[in-house]
Structure 1
Amino acid sequence: MDARNWRWIVVNSWKFCEEHGREECLQCRCDYRLENNHASDLHLILDALLLDRDFDLDKRMSRHAYNRGAIPVKDGSKGRSKEYKCRTHGQKDCWTCFEWVAIVRQEVELLSPRKGRLPSA
């Protein structure tokens, strides 16, 4: 087993593979989606949306921290730093760039509610 799959970074409370910045990384054989869902209480927060849609949070689209601009807090320390900030604002765990719950909510909202269900009051 490759030791890479045990190294991760944390960006605004979510884990990603350290080498590639992916939440689910086939190269490193890791998948942090389930753990990240629980870290953010996604099932509780998105419960009303999920009731009307065929959507499995554990199989949702994997996020990519580096593509969203995650960089080490200290320059040149990629792979050695556990602290990451956004490239745009220079903020550690930036809520503008790394608002994971809102990003997943948008993905769920793209799906139309199932027919035959009454809207909740």
Structure 2
Amino acid sequence: MNKSTRFGAALALSVLAAATVGTTASAETITYGRGPNFEFRDPGLGTTVYFTPGHPAHNVRLWADNEAGGLTFSVRMFSGDEMVWSAADQSDRVYFVGSNVTRIQMSRDCMCAGRNGVQARG
């Protein structure tokens, strides 16, 4: 593979990544815009994922961990400004996200160092 081909491939991957997940940082929370196939790890205590209103229903895996292992977290799902579901003391699991859900917020219960994970599931 020559240099220009490698550069073109790297540029295409960069553009694809930027189109799939956009990030905006704010105090203790990193916000992600949902692309069709997303997976990311977030070192912030809180993570927010936004969905386009009326999106197709699908499954999303949420988890949190650090070097010592898995961590529990709280999760809240919203339709607009209205909270439609919440739970505390959660661990690695897959959640059904209905087409009414426009935002998911998760935060580690321990308020300790670690990473939150979010992944689209089929």
Q: Which TM-score bucket, shorter chain as reference?
A: under 0.3
What TM-score does the superposition give when structure 1 sets the normalisation length? 0.26
More helix, by proportion: 1
More strand, by proportion: 2
